[in-house]
A and B are shown apart, each in its own frame.
Chain A
Amino acid sequence: MATEIYERVKRYLTLLKKNFKAIEEKSLFLVSEKVKGKEVIIQIRAGEPWIGLVVPIISRAEIPDNILCKVHEKLLQININYAEVSFGIDKEGNVLATEEILSDALTLDVFLEEYNALPVAVEVFEEEVRPIIKEAQA
């Protein structure tokens, strides 16, 4: 059965006219967004006490080994320079941007601010990290 938080997130996505797929049994939403002409999928897990928002940024395989450390350093620097951006890496080394909302603090305004931070993270990555990777590949 869908939780109240799941229903609220679904309502917000509908009100915001987002293009999304709801997977109720996993309390999961997959939202399609266009950032700088590229499609990205934002995953929203409507859990409690945390609602987790994640966007995959780049796979480990796309980062050359010789600049991996430099890329990680840059991601940590971005984490301090942009309050709304939070980069992390999963077990496999893929880079993701995440946001979390305390379910007790969930309102449309809060949801929108946290949600909008993810396309910002994609943009910041493209502007500040992608050139390092491209240069190494050249």
Chain B
Amino acid sequence: MMSFNPKKVFSRILSYLKILGKEIESIDEDKFAILVKEKIDGGTHRILVQLYTSGWISTRALLVRNETLNRLGGNSCLVLRYLLQTSYRAAEFKFAMDEMGNIYITEDIHISALTFDAFDEEYHAIPAAIKEFKERIKPEIEHLIATDFEIV
């Protein structure tokens, strides 16, 4: 693992977000985390950009709350399978779940690849993926489970 100065990298990420004109909601300098507000398809989404000491930068957005999955009962298994299949097919993002059962869309970039252009592309993969999820994946899931599927 390469050694790096997390404060310097964090400040670079912050400057990239400022250059991109992003609306920053909060900054946690202890956790190297930045919360960004994005308007996507008429809805407001919060995107968390966080630097880890392992050298990976994670960009993540909450997509589906656990109560939505819980309401589906056994059908939630079909959704999880579908999300893993979509993760495999998509180069730009993956789906992930926290220990509470909330579903996120996430993208990771290693600091060795951190340039403005790479960050720009990888960051914007998340809003693009949320849009794609709303327009294409959500209807496919609803077809699969034959009921409405509520996303954030």
Contacts and interface: CB of A to CB of B under 8 A. Distances in A.
Interface of A: 50, 52, 68-69, 72-73, 75-77, 79-80, 83-84, 86-91, 93, 96, 98, 100-102, 104-105, 107, 109-110, 112-114
Interface string B110-122: 1011010110011
Contact of B108 (A68, A84, A112): A84
19 contacts: A68-B77, A72-B81, A72-B84, A73-B97, A76-B96, A79-B87, A79-B94, A79-B106, A80-B98, A86-B108, A87-B94, A88-B84, A88-B85, A98-B87, A100-B92, A102-B121, A109-B112, A113-B55, A113-B110
A58 B111 CA distance: 30
Given A83-B52, A84-B108, A102-B121, A76 B88 contact: no
Nearest to A83: B56
B30 interface: no
Contacts of B117: 104-105
Interface string B73-114: 000110011011111110110111111000110101010110
Contacts of B26: none
B77 A72 contact: yes
B70 interface: no
Contact of B84 (A50, A76, A109): A76
B113 A75 contact: no
A79 B77 contact: no
Interface in B37-69: 52, 54-58, 60
A93 B2 CA distance: 35
Interface residues of B, number: 39
A102 B56 CA distance: 15
A43 B52 CA distance: 27
A73 B56 contact: no
Contact of A79 (B56, B86, B97, B115): B97
B80 A72 contact: yes
Contacts of B80: 69, 72-73, 76
Nearest to A112: B112
